[in-house]
Chains A and B, each alone.
Chain A
Amino acid sequence: SQQGEEDPQALSIQEGENATMNCSYKTSINNLQWYRQNSGRGLVHLILIRSNEREKHSGRLRVTLDTSKKSSSLLITASRAADTASYFCATDAHQGAQKLVFGQGTRLTINP
């Protein structure tokens, strides 16, 4: 798989359930970020986790990073209909400007 591959590609759950999305990557990274994209809209930054961090929380979001397995997960707890969107992980391996490498994304649908 290529750098920053998410799975599953699509996830449909009921409102109130937790949603977990995974991301795998191939090369060493400086940090890994998760972005959300509502249909036809721009990318919204959710959370950044550095390569020396293992877990990070932000509101209902929990991100883990396992550099030994080159993988990350994004957990959204107590999902809401407004969480329906595509979620992308993006890795940054450069020392210079932020040349992010995005994955294919997970399309999350929250059913009311």
Chain B
Amino acid sequence: EPEVTQTPSHQVTQMGQEVILRCVPISNHLYFYWYRQILGQKVEFLVSFYNNEISEKSEIFDDQFSVERPDGSNFTLKIRSTKLEDSAMYFCASSVPPRQGFWNGELFFGEGSRLTVL
């Protein structure tokens, strides 16, 4: 069964360092997402990406964050200068486009990348 894969599964970094989290979405999906979950809190939307550009982003997704689809298969989230509060589980997800304006299917989530900022 096709799945979204994420690497690394866990990364520990020093505050101020750059981090790149990688995702391989399901191959025929066209929408890609990053969500995050701070320990014990809700899953929060960060950004959606379609047709090689950001389609929507949340307040959390400030200038420190960027996304890229560098080679047609990988989808990356870069945090330019990590802060302590960036420590969280980061989930990549992908989905097929809507049909006739309706989203009929689910988001397919990866297993997550746990980021620990020290």
The answer to the question of B87 belonging to the interface, with a C-beta cut-off of 8 Å to chain A, is no
A100 to B106, CA, bound (A): 10
The answer to the question of B82 belonging to the interface, with a C-beta cut-off of 8 Å to chain A, is no
Interface size class of B (residues with CB under 8 A): 20 to 34
A64 to B57, CA, bound (A): 30
Do B111 and A41 have beta carbons less than 8 Å apart? yes
Known A-B contacts A43-B43, A43-B91; A48 and B109 likewise in contact (beta carbons under 8 Å): no
The answer to the question of B105 belonging to the interface, with a C-beta cut-off of 8 Å to chain A, is yes
For chain A, the count of residues having a C-beta within 8 Å of the partner chain is: 27
The answer to the question of A54 belonging to the interface, with a C-beta cut-off of 8 Å to chain B, is no
Contact of B106 among A48, A95, A103 (CB under 8 A): A48
Say what secondary structure dominates the interface of chain B.
Answer: strand
Nearest-CB distance from B35 to chain A (Å)?
8
Do A102 and B42 have beta carbons less than 8 Å apart? yes
The answer to the question of A99 belonging to the interface, with a C-beta cut-off of 8 Å to chain B, is yes
A41 to B41, CA, bound (A): 14
Q: Which residue from chain A places its CB closest to the CB of B95 in the assembled complex?
A: A98
The answer to the question of B74 belonging to the interface, with a C-beta cut-off of 8 Å to chain A, is no
A35 to B58, CA, bound (A): 21
Q: Which of B56, B105, B106, B111 has the most CB of A within 10 A?
A: B106
Known A-B contacts A50-B102, A99-B48; A42 and B42 likewise in contact (beta carbons under 8 Å): no
The answer to the question of A101 belonging to the interface, with a C-beta cut-off of 8 Å to chain B, is yes
Q: Which residue from chain B places its CB closest to the CB of A92 in the assembled complex?
A: B103
The answer to the question of B12 belonging to the interface, with a C-beta cut-off of 8 Å to chain A, is no
Residues of chain B within 8 A (CB-CB) of A95 are: 101
Do B106 and A33 have beta carbons less than 8 Å apart? yes
Q: Which of A31, A43, A45, A48 has the most CB of B within 10 A?
A: A43
Known A-B contacts A48-B105, A50-B102; A100 and B111 likewise in contact (beta carbons under 8 Å): no
Q: Mind listing 16 A-B residue pairs with CB under 8 Å? A: A30-B103, A31-B103, A41-B112, A42-B110, A42-B112, A43-B91, A48-B105, A48-B106, A50-B102, A90-B43, A97-B56, A98-B31, A98-B33, A98-B95, A103-B42, A104-B41
Residues of A within 8 A of B (CB): 4, 30-31, 33, 35, 41-45, 48, 50, 88, 90, 92, 94-105
